[in-house]
Amino acid sequence: MLCPSSEFLYQYYGTSLGAWTENVILELRKHTNRPIVVRPKALMPKDDIDAAIHDAWCVVTHVSAAALDALRLGVPIITTGACAASPLATAIDQVESPVCAEGRDELFSLLAHSQFTPDEMLSQDIIQIIDRLFAEIN
């Protein structure tokens, strides 16, 4: 399942949604003959995404929250950009043998512990908190 990000994001990176989608499909076709389902972000209501991802071989995205949804459901991911889920992603040329990497619990724990209020973000304590959390997962 191909889950593109928003057009705005691709414009920020100097490309377009259409160009990214076309390039990723071309790259995937070099490595697999599996059907590719494209799920535009606008068509992904929250109540629908879990069912769609659950049946996917893997989820391919740039930097979408769909990657985290897939990991939460135990579905392997491929990311073409750097995002929170990227350390657990499979390389695109390994699409036929994707791995749902170890470390999902640690990733979700780190993300949950990295949610800060505006006041916390303005304090110097946040650096100590992040340092401590980083040390705990390494």
- Say whether pLDDT at 36 is over 70: yes
Among residues 99, 14, 105, 28, the alpha carbon closest in space to that of 61 is found at 28
What is the chain's mean pLDDT, rounded? 86
Range of the domain at 137: 102-138
Q: Over the range 73-90, which residues count as b (16 or more CB within 10 Å of their CB) and which as e?
A: bebbbbbbeebbbeebbb
Same domain, 96 and 106: no
Q: Are residues 42 and 68 in the same domain?
A: yes
109 and 59 share one domain: no
- Give the global pTM: 0.79
pLDDT tens by residue, 87-124: 999 999 999 999 887 888 888 887 877 777 778 777 76
Tell me the CA distances in angstroms from 98 to 18, 30, 36, one per residue in order: 25, 15, 15
59 and 71 housed in the same domain: yes
What is the pLDDT averaged over residues 44-62? 82
Task: Specify whether 117 is located in the same domain as 63.
Answer: no
Question: What is the domain count for the chain?
Answer: 2
pLDDT per residue as tens digits for the range 82-96? 888 999 999 999 999
Q: Do both 86 and 54 map to the same domain? A: yes
